[in-house]
Amino acid sequence: MADYNSGLPVRTEADGLDERVQSKIVGNATGTSTGVSNHLAIDNDKNAHVEMHGNDPLGLDEVLRLSEIGAITPDGVYDATNNTKPGNVGLIASSRNATPSDTTQTQRLTSVTNGTKRLLDIALHDGAGDTFSASNPLPVSLSSSNAGTEINDYNTAGTLAAGGTNNHDYTVTALKTLLLSQVWASASGKLKIDVQIETGVATGVFTTKFTGFNSTSDPNIPLDLSQPISIAAGVRVRVIRRNNDNQAQDVYSTICGSEV
């Protein structure tokens, strides 16, 4: 008759004198029964101390980070090495309510794309929260000073022959935009001017914008623009001065505006 392998079940009573059997959850550090060294820690509140792990974009194991109060701290700043998948937090708005609370936070804000810009939609109101309208207009203050660098480019040509022409050119400064606001021309005799703008940088092709004449009673030709013309960097403004008198005379002109 063969022996029969059997075992008795473990039965314990209460702690103390009855020497109740206790069990522990442990980590096997080496994969063998003799290599137990990583014990699970449990605090006074009977909470197991564990680390939260997850996989990074490459599938490698990483530990989640917490703040000093236990809040998860997502990193929203992109880094090509350490944070290729930055955390994103959407801006949530409350529905319009006299007493906004957690339950009214139901609105996602919207935006529009314009080239490389992402522009957040807004509703502009006054300090009291009222909408601007014809009866509640937006106040605007006008200033006599212009932004940018003031340009008053003066030029003269002496003894211009009768029937002859002479060009006064101004090239807009690099990386600037000229807001052309005025052209002034004058001569003691009869004078005609054509104000032209080049079609592009160094194209040599000009488009006439204004033509003016003086007279014996008014030798000046003032061209004041109620709406300035924007002219790109490197483009030329040209004032063609023609002596319409029957004898040589000096001619004068000034190109005015501001560069921003």
Cβ atoms of 250 and 160 within 8 Å: the answer is yes
Ordered structural domains, the chain, with CATH: 149-259 (2.60.120.230)
SS3 103: helix
Give me the average pLDDT of each 10-residue run along the chain (260 residues): 69 63 58 56 75 85 85 83 81 88 88 92 89 92 72 97 98 96 97 98 97 95 95 98 97 97
Q: What is the pLDDT of residue 28?
A: 47
pLDDT of residue 85: 82
139: three-class secondary structure by DSSP: coil
Judged by DSSP in three states, 57 sits in coil
Q: What are phi and psi of 104, to 5 degrees?
A: -95, 0
Q: Can you give the pLDDT at residue 17?
A: 57
DSSP helix/strand/coil, 88: coil
Contact residues for 88 (Cβ-Cβ < 8 A; gap 6+)? 76
Given this model, what pLDDT does residue 92 score?
A: 83
